[in-house]
Amino acid sequence: MADGTLDRVGWGAHGLSRVDWRAWPAAQAAAVEAFVLAWWQDVLTTPDPPYPVEDVFETCASILGAMAPLLDRWQAHPVADAHLVGTARSWLYHLVDDGRPFTWWDLDDEAAGVAELRCWLARSAPGRLRARGEADLAVRAELLGLPHEERWNHPYWSGTH
C-alpha cells in the first residue's frame, strides 16, 4: 500500500477496514495500527506521495474506524499544509452542504464522521490555508463551524464579505 504499487481498487476499500483486526493478537493488532499511522505520517511529509492524500486519509480512517488519530497527526508543516490545501478543496465541496467527501466510509457512522471532519476543518484549517494564500478556502472552512442554515445565509455566498 505505502509504496504506490496497488491499483486504486486494491487500497480504497481495503480488506483491513472490513475485519476486526483489533481482536487479533495484541502484537498483530499493534502492528496494523502502527503501520497505518506511520503510512499517514509519511504521506503528510512527502511532497508527491504515490496516492492522493485525501484517498490515503480515507483508507487509513476506514482501517482505523476513526478520523481523530489522523487529524491529530496533521500538524502544521509546509508539506502537510500544501496537502491540506488540495484536500480542503476536495472535501469542502461536499462538507459545506453536510455531505460526505468519502466513497468508502461506513455509512453507519457517516453523520458523526462528517461532523468530526467539519469541526476539525473549521477549527484547524483556516489559519493554515490563509498562510498558504488560500483566503477563499479558509473562509469556506470557517463556515463549516456554523449551523447549516447560518452557513448558507452567510454574506460570503452573496459576495458581500
pLDDT in tens, 57-96: 988 988 898 899 999 999 999 999 999 999 999 999 999 9
- Residue 8 has what pLDDT? 58
What pLDDT does residue 156 have? Answer: 92
54 inside domain: yes
How far is it, in rounded angstroms, from Cα 81 to Cα 129? 7
Burial 71-107 (b: 16+ CB within 10 A, else e): beebeeeeebbebbbebbeebbeebbeeeebbeebee
pLDDT tens string 138-155: 999 999 999 999 999 999
**48 part of a folded domain:** yes
Helix ranges restricted to H, 65-109: 68-73, 78-95
Indicate whether 1 belongs to any domain. no
- Cβ pair 65, 48 in contact under 8 A: no
Angle at 132 between CA 128 and CA 134, to 5 degrees: 90
Q: Which residues have a Cβ under 8 Å from the Cβ of 132 and sit 6 or more positions away?
A: 81, 82, 84, 85
Q: Is residue 157 helix, strand or coil?
A: helix
Q: What is the pLDDT of residue 47?
A: 97
The answer to whether position 67 is within a domain reads yes
Asked if residues 56 and 83 have their Cβ atoms less than 8 Å apart, the reply is no
Question: How many structural domains does the chain have?
Answer: 1
* Cα pseudo-dihedral 79, 60, 7, 95, rounded to 10: -70
Q: Say if 73 falls within a structural domain.
A: yes
Is position 3 within any domain?
no
Asked if residue 29 is part of any domain, the answer here is yes
Domain coverage including residue 88: 8-158
Hey, what's the cell of 76? 502544521
Question: What digits encode the pLDDT tens for the residues 110-127?
Answer: 778 888 999 999 999 999
